[in-house]
């Protein structure tokens, strides 16, 4: 079946990007806290009406959501104010010069000259002030999300709003929206509700969820097109899980958190932590189920969780654990594959998982990994395997060394011959 996924324009109506200058980012250089708009690009988003007047909540012309994301540590998020004004309003003989004034906060304290700034107007009128380090994975992900196929420069560039209305939200986009604190609204609730109804508001196993994706997702044959098949499965299962999670969490919140007639704050935090941990652990297990289904579709011989040296357990060994532990079996016919939904620095874990296999393969659905990180993997003899569609989130120099899932399958089949 074909299901609706929603579009980026359902959340953001406009976005602009620039590289922060020393004057804009460094309070030691300037106390003005201003973003310049020399190219008049922000006027496409904010118009030519000044927004100096205090809003009902007293925060200023625009309610601003300030977000700093580095990808290496927990992000920083603050609510602040933003004012839009003509700095030459009292100089009628001069051309107008528009500036965006921001309030100082933990996010603006963290940003540095050279960082990338994205200004995104939410459909509710709030202005998102998003900062990411230049060259970081999260910068690449944000540029990909907003379809900004250019290197940020000192001059602001405003994205064509038509692009946002044609950008479908898939699982990769939802992960980035999560980082921005955007709650995804499922456009296909009725159909998904019909699938989760038999579970009576309890979480089924990851295998059951994966099987539902294999049956109901609009996916190509895994034998013909494994790259797009696995993306369709992951996308469908993620949506299904989020819908069930929302129903269960709503019920739990409705019941309340009380202990002896008092609000039980500890119980609330325990439940919240449990919910977030479930998301992370389920995603990893789910991805392994989908990969195994692809390998079965291609009749590949493999084993999961085989114990190797130092009690390590590679996610996948080809052709088997018995072959790996047989010293007479040729090393060249052995393959290992690690599986991680997102990488950060966790890719190094696979380096010690199978000593007999010099070149490690690592599958991920992570997007826009930084050049520095992919270079480190290459130097460590790690071959990155990424579904073909997600290659577009990487720069051209990275793509030449990234393997598609179909190519990995062909390689394993050739080794078994």
pLDDT, tens only, 248-276: 888 888 888 887 778 888 888 888 888 77
Task: Say how far apart CA 266 and CA 258 lie, in whole Å.
Answer: 10
Domain boundary among 134, 161, 180: 180
Among the candidates 217, 245, 279, a domain finishes at 279
pLDDT of residue 294: 98
Q: Is the pLDDT of residue 411 over 70?
A: yes
**Annotation says 11 is catalytic:** no
Closest residue by Cα to residue 153 from 38, 287, 317: 38
Residue-wise pLDDT for 395-410, tens only, equals: 999 999 999 999 999 9
CATH number, domain with residue 384: 3.40.91.80
Can you list the positions of beta strands (E) in 282-414?
303-304, 316-318, 335-340, 360-364, 382-385
Tell me which DSSP letter residue 197 carries. G
| Extended strands (E) in 133-224 | 157-158
The DSSP bridge pattern shows strands 382-385 and 360-364 to be parallel
Catalytic residue among 68, 128, 324, 394: 324
CATH of the domain at 166: 2.40.330
Q: Is 364's pLDDT higher than 90? A: yes
Choose the final residue of a domain: 247, 279, 311. Answer: 279
CA angle 242, 243, 246 (to 5 degrees): 85
Calpha distance 335→328 (Å, rounded): 16
The verdict on residue 161 lying in a domain is yes
pLDDT at 59 over 70: no
**Helix locations, 262-404, DSSP H:** 265-297, 321-324, 371-379, 396-399
Q: What is the mean pLDDT of the chain?
A: 87
- pLDDT above 60 (res 1): no
Check: CB of residue 7 under 8 Å from CB of residue 166: yes
91-121: pLDDT as tens digits: 777 766 788 888 889 999 999 999 999 999 9
Overall size of the chain counted in residues: 417
- In terms of domains, do 143 and 28 share one? yes
Contacts of 292 (CB under 8 A, 6+ apart): 302, 304, 316
Given this model, what pLDDT does residue 3 score?
45
pLDDT attached to residue 2:
38
How many separate domains does the chain show? 3
The domain of 33 spans 8-180
311 in the same domain as 389:
yes
Q: Flag whether 293 is in a domain.
A: no
Of 57-61, 184-188, 208-212, 343-347, the range with the highest mean pLDDT is: 208-212
User: Rounded to an integer, what is the distance from CA 297 to the centroid of its chain?
Assistant: 28
């Amino acid at each position: 079946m074909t299901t609706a996924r929603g579009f980026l324009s359902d959340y953001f109506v406009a976005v602009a990007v620039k590289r922060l200058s020393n004057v804009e980012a460094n309070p030691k250089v300037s106390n003005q806290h201003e973003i310049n708009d020399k190219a008049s690009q922000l006027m496409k988003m904010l118009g030519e009406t000044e927004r100096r007047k205090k809003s009902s909540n007293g925060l200023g012309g625009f309610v601003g959501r300030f977000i700093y994301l580095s990808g290496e540590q927990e992000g920083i998020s603050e609510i602040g104010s933003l004012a839009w004004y003509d700095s030459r309003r009292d100089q009628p003989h001069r051309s107008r010069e528009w500036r965006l004034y921001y309030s100082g906060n933990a996010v603006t304290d963290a940003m540095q000259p050279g960082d990338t700034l994205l200004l995104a107007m939410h459909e509710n009128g709030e202005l998102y002030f998003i900062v990411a380090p230049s060259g970081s994975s999260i910068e690449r992900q944000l540029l990909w999300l907003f379809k900004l196929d250019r290197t940020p420069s000192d001059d602001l560039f405003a994205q064509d709003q038509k692009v946002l209305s044609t950008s479908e939200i898939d699982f990769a986009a939802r992960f980035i929206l999560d980082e921005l604190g955007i709650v995804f609204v499922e456009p296909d609730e009725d159909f998904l509700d019909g699938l989760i109804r038999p579970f009576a508001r309890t979480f089924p196993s990851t295998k059951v969820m994966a099987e539902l994706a294999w049956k109901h997702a609009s996916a190509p044959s895994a034998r013909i097109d494994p790259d797009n098949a696995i993306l369709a499965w992951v996308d469908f299962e993620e949506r299904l899980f989020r819908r069930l999670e929302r129903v269960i969490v709503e019920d739990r919140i409705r019941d309340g958190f009380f202990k002896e007639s008092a609000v039980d704050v500890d119980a609330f935090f325990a439940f919240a932590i449990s919910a977030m941990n479930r998301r992370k652990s389920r995603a990893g297990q789910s991805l392994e189920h989908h990969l195994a289904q692809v390998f079965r579709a291609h009749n590949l011989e493999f084993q999961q969780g085989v114990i190797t040296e130092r009690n390590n357990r590679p996610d996948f060994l080809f052709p088997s654990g018995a072959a790996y532990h047989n010293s007479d079996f040729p090393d060249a016919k052995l393959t290992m594959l690690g599986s991680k939904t997102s990488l950060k620095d966790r890719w190094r874990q696979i380096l010690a998982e199978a000593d007999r296999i010099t070149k490690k393969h690592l599958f991920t659905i992570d997007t826009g990994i930084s050049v520095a990180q992919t270079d480190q993997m290459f130097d460590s003899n790690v071959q990155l395997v990424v579904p073909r569609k997600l290659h577009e989130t990487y720069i051209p120099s990275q793509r030449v060394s990234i393997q598609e899932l179909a190519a990995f399958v062909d390689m394993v089949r050739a080794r078994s011959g």
